[in-house]
Structure 1
Amino acid sequence: MKVNSTELQNNFGKYLMLAGQEEIIITRNGTEIAKLTAMKEATVTNIDGTNTVHENASDYGYGGKKATYEEFLQLQQKSEERYEYIDGEIYWLASPRTAHQIAITELLVIFYNTFQGKDCTPMVAPYDIELRRTPENINIVQPDLMIICDLEDHLNENDYYKGVPKLVVEVLSKSTQRKDLIKKLDLYMSCGVNEYWTVNPDNQEVTIYHFEDKNISHYTTFKKSETAQSFIFEELRAEIDRVFRL
């Protein structure tokens, strides 16, 4: 697929998702200038025969069978490691870096102060969120940070939340951005999340996506010296310099 640079800039989220399916050639004044392709991840086979995609690996080669949801649950019960399960693949969650933790801590404080005494509750990982594309397609993710506005209405008998957060936040790294910007963006958009924040410590930017009717309706990237503004919560703002204070 070919797309000009202006179209790419105006619809970056859309083409990030498409890059997971095909190569995107970027043009300027009719001349090919760049290429947008999917990043690669590595898959290992566990003792029980399931496959795990390791986020912190540099190569990609998913050649084994996909794990069933039951196999994922068995692995989760046997291991003290943290995992996510997205579209039939198991992802091991590596230990986060310092910049990641500082960004999440700062955002959690901002979110907590914003929603204190209100109906919506900030929650932070590790906290399993179950999202279903269809009744049979079950996904388990652990967003870095989320805003839940129907907590009491969707707690099951075991005190697990079974609803859909209004807003989720993921902090990117070079090894996880393909999953966060393509797989998770599509999952959140398809399953009823209203707003998605991607936080990039490397370039110190926050991009906010607003989802409507299972599509990206708006998105904005906020940079240093700017203040990120939520699309769905007028009172929710975050100074970029504070989020990336190191």
Structure 2
Amino acid sequence: MEKPQDKVKEPIVGYGHYSYADYLSWQLDEMVELIRGKVFRHAAAAPRRIHQEVSMILANRFYEFLKEKTCKVYPAPFDVRLPLASRRHEDIDTVVQPDLCVVCDPKKLDELGCVGAPDLIVEILSPGNNKKELQLKYEVYEASGVNEYWLVHPDERTLLIYTLEGGKYRPSRIFTFGDRVRSQALPGFELDLDEVFGEL
């Protein structure tokens, strides 16, 4: 007879190939992400204060702009499943928790989060970010059709925007103090970086 604990498979970082079905069975005290079947653990410590401040400022700006619009902004922790073909839990091997994501198609939302590419994703760098993880995220965001990928470096007070064109990301120049940035994924949205980085 199967015991309840038999259903819980403990993930091994860097080994094996796991699916979203496995992910749902884990009982962990920490956040993990699944990228192409590999497990990436978040740092055990809470994000730094500067990370949280940037996240709150950006989330507020998006929220205010998106009021009464179809698009919605979601902060982490929020599961984003990126299926390649099938939407079955057993077939999905990438589940990420971006710092912020904006989803404009309500059909992509369910009680578990988002299934399919958000229109815009924001990742805020911190000392614990794994370079391999960041590279893999770039690749899966591009392959799954995330229209805009924002990479914020709070220590350096910079923002880099990748815009999807013809299936490939085109990087912006590096934005910083004095710049106002616009989103192609969210027409009409503008962000004054002095208001973001000046508050830190």
TM range (shorter): 0.7 to 0.9
Alpha-carbon offset, residue 96 of structure 1: 0.8
For the structure 1 residues 72 and 159, does the alpha-carbon distance in structure 2 shift closer, same or farther, using more than 3 Å as the test? closer
Question: What SS does the aligned partner of 1:216 have?
Answer: strand
Distance 2:132 2:154 in 1: 16
The TM-score, its normalising length taken from structure 1, stands at 0.68
Superimposed CA distance per residue, residues 168-197 of structure 1 (whole angstroms, 9 cap, x where no aligned partner): 000012331524641111111100110000
1:87-236 pair list within 5 angstroms? 87-94=36-43, 95-135=46-86, 136-151=91-106, 153-156=107-110, 158=111, 160-176=113-129, 178-179=131-132, 181-236=134-189
Alpha-carbon offset, residue 166 of structure 1: 0.3
Q: Which runs of 4+ in 1 moved over 6 A?
A: none
Percent identity (aligned): 30
Q: For residue 50 of structure 1, what is the aligned residue in structure 2?
A: 11
The TM-score, its normalising length taken from structure 2, stands at 0.82
Alpha-carbon offset, residue 219 of structure 1: 2.3
Q: For residue 23 of structure 1, what is the aligned residue in structure 2?
A: none
Answering whether residue 190 of structure 2 is matched by residue 237 of structure 1, we say: yes
- Structure 1 unmatched ranges of 5 or more: 1-46, 53-61
Letter in 1 for 2:170: S
Worse overlay, 140-149 or 171-180: 171-180
- Out of 16, 39, 47, the position equivalent to 1:66 is 16
Q: Is the 8 A contact 2:30 2:42 kept in 1?
A: yes
Alpha-carbon offset, residue 160 of structure 1: 3.9
Higher strand content, 1 or 2: 1
Output the aligned Cα RMSD: 2.2
Letter in 2 for 1:149: C
Q: Is the 8 A contact 1:84 1:141 kept in 2?
A: yes
Distance 1:68 1:218 in 2: 31
